[in-house]
């Protein structure tokens, strides 16, 4: 069961302030009805040096939905997240979050926008010198002036949501990789973000944790009314919680649709990926010379 109380309702005391919050929320929802997509990506090109990672990407992330970006390793999934978060600048095209072009924002504007985002990194990226409790409290301490008691309650509720309330005093080095990921998840939702991005949240988790994490992602999305961008290559879990799926290969979208549509898709790439087949449009081997050439077994004159 998910014990969850949105932070925003707690951060201000008193009825008047609660009403202010509700007014703000209503205004936001009105705005949302105008901006249907929280995130829009148009004609996005990105290269590392001379290597093209993304070429002419177009994506929409509607408000309140869980959108999965799937694809093999090196297909550019994480790069998309970093471009949405403004950690990378595109060479061409743009990413819009809440109608703002991310790469055109100045530092102050970008940091203001990031306060509305939460991101779960692939390996958790917990601060190793801080305890589990302090990791989750970090964004609250940095961005609010809440009293210590309220911070404690909020942190414990976030940790309860990920099943790690009793691990609050441990250091990141004392917990498993899967637990670290769940702590990072609690930290990423500490400020009740409007956009939550997950980078491979299921990688390396045991089956129980995987199912719990998948449900948690879906439930948080519903409880917070946030928009979720889920980068993963775990088909079963992603399809179970996503409203829409993009398949990415070599920096391009090769297929997109609802999970149900993807399951019956005849697209060779989708079929290969969903059914985990070795043969298909995605080569297993890195392109280059053949094994026979390397072993000197090619045609001899």
Instruction: Using the structure block, give the residue that is written with the tokens 């205004």.
Output: 27
Residue 251: partners with Cβ closer than 8 Å, 6 or more residues away? 46, 52, 53, 54, 55, 57, 75, 76
77 binds other proteins (CB under 8 A): no
- The CA distance from 263 to 255, in Å, is 12
Q: Which residues of 49-66 are buried (b: 16+ CB within 10 A; e: fewer)?
A: eeebbbbebebbbbbbbb
126 binds other proteins (CB under 8 A): yes
Hey, is 60 helix, strand or coil?
strand
* In the complex, least distance from residue 113 CB atom to other proteins, rounded to whole angstroms: 8
Dihedral (CA of 32, 231, 173, 160) sign: positive
Nearer to other proteins, 81 or 254 (CB): 81
142 binds other proteins (CB under 8 A): yes
242 binds other proteins (CB under 8 A): no
128 binds other proteins (CB under 8 A): yes
In the sheet that holds 66-70, the strands lie side by side as 117-120, 195-199, 227-232, 66-70, 244-249, 252-257
Are 158 and 120 in contact by the 8 Å Cβ rule? The answer is no
Give the total residue count for the chain.
301
Nearer to other proteins, 143 or 169 (CB): 143
* In the complex, least distance from residue 176 CB atom to other proteins, rounded to whole angstroms: 16
87 binds other proteins (CB under 8 A): yes
* In the complex, least distance from residue 119 CB atom to other proteins, rounded to whole angstroms: 4
- Binding region for other proteins (CB under 8 A) out of 136-144, 158-166, 245-253, 288-296: 136-144
Nearest Cα to Cα of residue 28 among 227, 230, 228, 189? 227
Residue 9: partners with Cβ closer than 8 Å, 6 or more residues away? 18, 21
Nearer to other proteins, 16 or 106 (CB): 106
201 binds other proteins (CB under 8 A): no
Site for other proteins in 96-125 (CB under 8 A): 107, 111-112, 114-115, 117-119, 121-123, 125
Of 58, 105, 138, 271, the one binding other proteins by CB under 8 A: 138
198 binds other proteins (CB under 8 A): no
Q: Which residues bind other proteins (CB under 8 A)?
A: 85, 87, 107, 111-112, 114-115, 117-119, 121-123, 125-128, 138-139, 142-143, 184, 187
């Amino acid at each position: 069961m998910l014990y969850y109380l949105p932070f925003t309702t707690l951060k201000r005391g008193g009825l008047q302030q609660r009403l202010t919050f509700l007014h703000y929320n209503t205004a936001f929802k009105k705005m949302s009805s105008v901006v249907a997509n929280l995130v829009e990506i148009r004609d996005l090109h990105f290269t590392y040096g001379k290597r093209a990672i993304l070429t002419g990407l177009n994506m929409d992330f509607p408000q309140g939905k869980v959108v999965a970006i799937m694809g093999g390793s090196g297909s550019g999934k994480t790069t998309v997240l970093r471009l949405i978060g403004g950690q990378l600048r595109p060479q061409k095209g743009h990413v819009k979050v809440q109608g703002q072009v991310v790469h055109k924002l100045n530092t102050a504007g970008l940091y203001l926008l990031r306060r509305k985002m939460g991101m779960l990194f692939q390996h958790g990226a917990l601060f190793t010198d801080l305890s589990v409790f302090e990791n989750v409290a970090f964004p609250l301490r940095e961005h609010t002036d809440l009293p210590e008691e309220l911070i404690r309650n909020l942190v414990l509720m976030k940790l309860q949501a990920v099943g790690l309330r009793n691990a609050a005093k441990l250091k990141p080095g004392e917990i498993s990789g899967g637990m670290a990921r769940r702590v990072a998840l609690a930290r990423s939702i500490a400020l009740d973000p409007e956009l939550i991005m997950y980078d491979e949240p299921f990688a390396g988790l045991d089956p129980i944790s995987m199912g719990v994490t998948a449900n948690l992602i879906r439930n948080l999305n519903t409880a917070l009314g946030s928009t979720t961008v889920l980068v993963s290559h775990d088909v079963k879990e992603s399809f179970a919680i996503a409203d829409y799926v993009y398949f990415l290969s070599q920096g391009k979208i090769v297929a997109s649709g609802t999970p149900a549509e993807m399951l019956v898709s005849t697209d060779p790439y989708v079929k290969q990926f969903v059914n985990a087949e070795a043969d298909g449009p995605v080569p297993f081997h890195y392109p280059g010379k053949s094994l026979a050439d390397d072993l000197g077994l090619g045609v001899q004159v």
